[in-house]
A = this chain, B = another copy of it.
Amino acid sequence: MRAAIRCELWQDACIHPDVPTMKILIVEDEPKTGDYLKQGLTEAGFVTDLARDGWEGLELAKAGHYDLMILDVMLPGLNGWQVLEGVRRGGIEMPVLFLTARDQVEDRVKGLELGADDYLVKPFAFAELLARVRSLVRRGHASLESTVLKAADLELDLLRRRAMRAGHKIELTAKEFALLELFLRRQGEVLPRSLIASQVWDMNFDSDTNVIDVAVRRLRLKIDNEHEIKLIHTVRGMGYVLEVSGQ
């Protein structure tokens, strides 16, 4: 168990200069799924609210200003479409990501016609959800969210899936890419191994493995090795951080 409390404090204290916080409303009655989503998205750097049923969801949607709503179709009380309809009638324009069950193909079409922007069939991989969420948020804020993350002379183009440092192209594997993306999105923050694990891997920290250390090393070899200024730093006992030193 790594110093969880301290980490939260660090996260709270640190505000990204260039990436504004995005607020996401999750409407999901099943506790497990709901908590899972909330935690995962929070760790990914989003601010989330969780509504446990349709009515609560609708209410929250109207009250707060969200950048995205994640909406389960099967809900007690108001179902997903009804919530969506209520939201749209209320003149609220946020993008909506529908979660539907495997056999409810029709529902999917219905949802899209009613103005959902994307859908995902349960069960889904968290990484998949995250990708959709980012895509929707990006489109909603066309100019706000850049598709290129930067730190010093390092650039990561998310759409083209390419990394460059000092104008030199760098080939990254999938894991390396995901890891670097996380570092860049939360640069300046010290990321504990448990957080890295939950975001880049699907595991809940199998304490005694050094996959992360090895992955960070491999990334370093490609990113930092031939450069005077190092970007990825080890914070002993806490985790890793990507930052432009002298900052």
Contacts and interface: CB of A to CB of B under 8 A. Distances in A.
Interface of A: 1-2, 5-6, 9, 15, 20-21, 23, 30, 32-33, 35-36, 39-40, 43, 65, 85, 88, 91, 93, 95, 108-109, 112-115, 117-128, 130-131, 136, 139-141, 144, 159-161, 173-175, 177, 188-190, 192, 194, 204, 235-238, 241, 243
A36 B194 contact: no
Given A5-B144, A127-B139, 12 more contacts: A1-B20, A2-B21, A2-B65, A36-B114, A112-B124, A113-B122, A115-B126, A117-B127, A118-B125, A131-B192, A160-B189, A175-B237
A138 to B, nearest CB: 9
A95 B32 contact: no
A30 B125 contact: no
A171 B211 CA distance: 27
Contact of A23 (B2, B161, B241): B2
Contacts of A160: 188-190, 241, 243
A243 B190 CA distance: 27
Nearest to A141: B9
A23 B1 CA distance: 12
Nearest to A237: B174
Contacts of A236: 173-174
Nearest to A134: B142
B161 A238 contact: yes
Smallest CB-CB A-B distances: 9 pairs: A174-B237, A112-B123, A127-B139, A161-B190, A121-B204, A36-B115, A117-B125, A159-B189, A43-B93
